[in-house]
Every structure is written in structure tokens, then in C-alpha cells.
């Protein structure tokens, strides 16, 4: 009797969520932003998190600023809000 080795899907027990955010253009210039549904939700949540900026600790504000710099919503080396 032979045993067939079946290939198993390594992702069968996982849910894969893909976030697509593509930003073309620099700060202060016209930007083209392309997102999928999950990317759009992520951008909305990041934007909403800005309401809590003043309550964040220093390291939280640094991370928030870096995220916005990556997205091109604030220039490199700038901060979201002066406190």
C-alpha cells in the first residue's frame, strides 16, 4: 500500500487581509492615492487617530508623525502638530 503525500495549503487556517496603499507624489504637490477597501479603512483610522495626538506620549507622536511622513501627508522632518 502506498501513501500519497498531499500538499496542504499553508494558509488554510489563516485569514489573509491585504492592505493596499499606493501614494504617488510628494508633499505639497498633487498626489495620486490608490487603495483597496482595507487600505481605505486603515487610512481613515490613522486620520481619526489624529484627534488623540495631544494625548499621546512622545514616542506615540513620533510613530504617528513617521506614519504621516511615509504617507506624504506631512513633509519629512516635520510634525503633525506642535505641542
For 83, how many CA atoms within 13 A lie in the half-sphere containing its CB?
A: 13
Q: Which grid cell is 55?
A: 494625548
Note the pLDDT tens digit of each residue in 33-64: 899 999 999 999 999 999 999 999 999 999 99
Residue in this structure with the C-alpha cell 508633499, named with its chain if needed: 27
29-36 average pLDDT score: 86
Q: Which grid cell is 38?
A: 482595507
- Is 24:31 a contact under the CB 8 Å cutoff? yes
- What are the residues whose beta carbons fall under 8 Å from the beta carbon of 32, sequence distance 6 or more? 22, 23, 24, 25
Instruction: Give residue 4's pLDDT.
Output: 55
- What 8-state DSSP symbol labels residue 68? H
Amino acid at each position: 500500500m502506498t501513501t500519497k503525500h498531499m500538499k496542504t495549503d499553508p494558509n488554510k487556517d489563516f485569514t489573509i487581509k491585504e492592505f493596499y496603499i499606493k501614494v504617488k507624489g510628494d508633499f505639497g504637490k498633487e498626489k495620486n492615492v490608490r487603495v483597496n477597501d482595507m487600505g481605505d479603512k486603515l487610512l481613515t483610522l490613522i486620520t481619526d487617530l489624529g484627534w488623540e495626538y495631544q494625548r499621546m506620549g512622545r514616542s506615540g507622536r513620533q510613530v504617528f508623525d513617521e506614519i504621516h511622513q511615509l504617507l506624504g501627508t506631512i513633509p519629512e522632518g516635520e510634525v503633525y502638530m506642535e505641542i
